[in-house]
Chains A and B, each alone.
Chain A
């Protein structure tokens, strides 16, 4: 970890913009494009950073008599001030899109998107502490932590090291007091969390699959896709064609909360009822993904709680499961 005197997010954003790179930063709704470093805010956007690598709609092929084009997006972009939970989610998405079968569309965007994360403080919905930390560098190319007017900077990936070239004279090793300051700040922020979940809940989940609690929890649920669309780790998509003889094949976010998601061609639907679909969201994140990938697919950003129209709360649900 190195030290920069000043706000490194602003400095690096300005430099990247000068180089012609499109730069995005947090705003209320999403990570949106900025044209000046003063536009970088600290809010947690309602939409996560996943849309930069896995957009809601993405054209896969253009077709006519045969495949006419395969558009890969190689535009160089940087997202600065990414929340550590969002950055961590990218690491989980990498496991889906890059392990085994490699998704070329995701790969192209991933290689050309620079993720510069910044440590943050939890709001009333956050619980990333249960899996990692608001000072986690996972998934980022560069990790920045701004404390008392100085920035702690760490290049996490090769891509990140590349960006830091040219800043050598401005970055120095931290003093012992500065390291101490960083540790204290991390300690202080860790104490601010109001929510937590039990990540090692898999055995309990296996027991509770047929429990009545799922029907009870689902009573209020309206059955929309907000929780899954806003989730930084939800990655399900559907593929559709537009145009009969000539057109595009595109993919679009899909949600296991919609009945059409599991509808089979025979008209059988294995998750016909709303409570079954609701249950699936928790089982997928906290059991199935642990079994198949070894990771809980929740980063604790709290968006599915704060934006749920019905007050369904992943923290309360998991407490109920562990009871």
Chain B
């Protein structure tokens, strides 16, 4: 994901948009801070603004899912390792058709915590040879110093599904994923999580940023469950409210546990939830723990069929 890879990707996006790809989900640089954001481009002439660097932090799968059906033709997407994991998951769950998309896979060196770079202006931050170079002065910052913590645990920095692939990936993490929190006695763990969830303001950024949280009806704000044109006044008054708007540690815990349980065997490990959280809640700890449990108890890890589908199959086969 150095400037060289960025150039290749930019050219390929332009070429593909000239061919059978109608739109492309790509990163573009922000003008006011060293950070990139996702957008959708439609013409090859727009490809010159395509950016790709360790500042390409967000997961493109979420936007891909949102826009893919707005186009008749193929939609292209630039996907890092975790983005491709999410795309693969969305395909296996029947949300995206494989034939409908073209994936430019990016072997990823890891992404940076852009908040550590806000002191610099966007045009002064360049990524080359595994290092961030800050102009002026050509000050070098090793990527490892500013890398997002989540990337240190990344098991698939290289894309798991792609049509073409570029870039140089970091070494995948292959250690056991134990968190200190797990070693604490139950009452201390409880206290830790209650303290953490006390901070939650229930803005739902973690849910909204997650590429796998695609339900059109979420239990926290059911739109159609609440009201349909056929609803009677009584139904409207008594619509199911699974969770109120009370922002207490108990209700926040309820929300977060349900959210994370819905990701059993599905999490793409991208870390969007934790990055999105304005209150710095360590949400990845929950996701990683759940993933470990799913592996230990059910022997399931990154397979081609969804986790719940596999659970259905097991009794029949035995």
Q: Is B253's CB within 8 Å of the partner chain A? A: no
Contact with A along B174-201 (1 / 0, CB 8 A): 0000000000000000000000000101
Q: Is A29's CB within 8 Å of the partner chain B? A: yes
Chain B residues with Cβ under 8 A from A28's Cβ?
Answer: 280
Chain B residues with Cβ under 8 A from A307's Cβ?
Answer: 278
Number of contact residues on A: which range applies? 35 or more
Q: How far is the CA of A265 from the CA of B221 in the complex (A)?
A: 15
Q: Is the CB of A259 within 8 A of B221?
A: yes
Chain B residues with Cβ under 8 A from A319's Cβ?
Answer: 31
Q: How far is the CA of A238 from the CA of B39 in the complex (A)?
A: 33
Nearest residue in A to B233 (C-beta to C-beta)?
Answer: A265
Chain A interface secondary structure, helix, strand, loop or mixed?
loop
Q: Is B118's CB within 8 Å of the partner chain A? A: yes
Q: Is the CB of B209 within 8 A of A310?
A: yes
CB distance from A52 to the nearest CB of B (A): 15
Chain B interface secondary structure, helix, strand, loop or mixed?
loop
Partner of A219, one of B38, B202, B229, B280: B38
Q: Is A224's CB within 8 Å of the partner chain B? A: yes
Interface centre among B33, B36, B226 (most CB of A within 10 A): B33
Number of contact residues on B: which range applies? 35 or more
Q: Is the CB of B276 within 8 A of A230?
A: no
Q: Is the CB of B199 within 8 A of A57?
A: no
Answer whether A240 and B245 are a contact pair too, CB < 8 Å, given A29-B280, A309-B276.
yes
Q: Is the CB of A124 within 8 A of B244?
A: no
Question: What are the nearest 5 A-B pairs in CB distance?
Answer: A309-B276, A252-B245, A311-B37, A224-B205, A222-B208
Residues of A within 8 A of B (CB): 28-29, 46-47, 56-57, 123-125, 194-195, 216, 219-220, 222-226, 228-230, 238, 240, 242, 250, 252-255, 258-260, 263, 265-267, 269, 305-307, 309-313, 315-316, 319
> 4 more A-B contacts (CB under 8 A) besides A258-B204, A316-B32?
A224-B208, A240-B245, A307-B278, A309-B272
Residues of B within 8 A of A (CB): 30-33, 35-40, 58, 62-63, 66-67, 115, 118-119, 199, 201-205, 207-209, 221, 223-224, 226-229, 231, 236, 244-248, 272, 275-276, 278-280
